[in-house]
Amino acid sequence: MKKVEKTELAIIGAGPGGYVAALRGAQLRKKVILMEEDRVGGTCTNYGCIPTKYLLHETQILKEVRHNPRFRGKEGLNLDWPQVQQMRQSIIDRLVKGIEFLLEKNGVKLIKGKARLINERCAAVATAEEEITIEAERLILATGSRAADLPFLKADGTRVITSREALELEEPPGSMIIIGAGAIGLELGSIFTRLGTRVTILEILARPLPGVDRQLAERLARLLKRQGIEIQTQMKVERAEIFENKVKLSGTCLKTGQPFEVEGEKVLLAAGRRPNSEIVKQLDSALCGPGGFVKVNEYLETDWPQVYAVGDLIGGKLLAHKAMHEGILAVENAFGARHSLEPQMIPVAVFTDPELASVGWTEEEAMERGLKIKIGLFPLHASGRAVAMEKSEGLVKILADDNNRLVGAHLLSPAASEMIGEMALALRLGLRIEEIGRTIHVHPTLSEALAEASLKTLNQALHLIND
């Protein structure tokens, strides 16, 4: 006899969107079942955000010491790569156990196994021991995404790899071609360049980081090229040849119309991600839209009643913190609320050196919407803290409308990912830029640049010449 369990809320996928939704459901005192075929924490914790940030941290220390002319005895300085990889896995395991502990203490039932949908609110989970049927009053789909292949180039885990394999390499390769100059491509390119790999990034669009403020993205690209990363834009890859010890890519440069060829020991696919929507398509493919992403309305409801979807599965900005927030909203909406998420309120960060972080409209987006904007620019060479850190190449850019309300903030700076939260809060609260400018920031800190750039929109900056 098959085992059947009934629950108020079932969630498929225990990545950031799914496990946070489960915790919120438990806070609302609902009976919650969470299904996951791999490890809790999803791609972000196990194969993405967390291990990437650890390797960025380790390699940044190496880079700083190597390039500081005042350090002595640096000859032969390098990372013990096996120990680095061991620590990477230790950090992941610690965080996974932490999530499992939270789920258990909050009364969430975690079932490990591959789930399939039987109908709109009924799933079957194949565990190692048995198949369990879950009958749910409400269902949240949070199955995430995976790295996208190219039609003529698919990951084989050896010569052609995804970010997952890149983070687990036994040793850094001598050369690597990265297809895609988005956040993943630039972050992994930074890691391997610091380790001595010759990195070439090929981007089909005219600039890296499409969707990010153009001025800051182009400035970051120049800084990364100075660090040794070769970034080639408007490069359409059309063919691939895989050999025993290398891969050769060829195609057309869209800027010149000329053919190109480039070779590397490894090719890293970082040109987008595909949703894990097969679980839905098997039952009703009409639930999915372009690219296979599940269609939802502003309240994260699918076309099926009492079925919600969150995170990478529904597209938009493929970010863990977006998925987490959507997980919370989906649960609350499932039990009576009517919350929605405004996309421009979602902050973005790229963990390069310097970091790039952004929230709200870019200058280009504001102009497309016909907004009359004021722009305040504050270069970090006017920041005492940045100069003291020898990190003064960055720029802070603040956008305000004609009522002096903040509409966008774009930071190219060390610790930009930590500072963008202040601007996200200011944007959410609809603050005027003088309120940001007159908020006391600790001196000397990088965050003072937020106040200075805000004041610059009013021509009241203190550490710059105003117009």
**Residues noted as catalytic:** 443
Q: How many CB atoms lie within 10 A of CB 66?
A: 12
Residue type at 188 in one-letter notation: L
The closest of 216, 209, 217, 222 to 378, measured between CA atoms, is 216
3-state secondary structure of 40: coil
Q: 80-105 burial string, b = 16+ CB within 10 Å, else e?
A: eeeeebeebeeebeebbeebbebbee
Peptide bond into 444 cis (omega under 30): yes
Is 146 in contact with 278 (CB distance < 8 Å)? no
Q: What is the DSSP letter of 203?
A: E
CA distance 13 to 125: 12
134: CB partners within 8 A, 6+ apart: 4, 5, 6, 7, 10, 33, 35, 111, 115, 122, 123, 124, 125
Q: Contacts from 83-87 at CB under 8 Å and sequence distance 24+?
A: 84/55, 84/58, 85/168, 85/170, 87/54
CA distance 422 to 447: 9
Q: Which single residue is written with the structure tokens 């006017």?
A: 382
Is 393 in contact with 223 (CB distance < 8 Å)? yes
3-state secondary structure of 21: helix
DSSP assignment string, 149-177: PBTTB---SSSEE-HHHHHT-SS--SEEE
3-state secondary structure of 180: coil
Tokens matching residue 12: 């498929």
Q: How many CB atoms lie within 10 A of CB 2?
A: 8
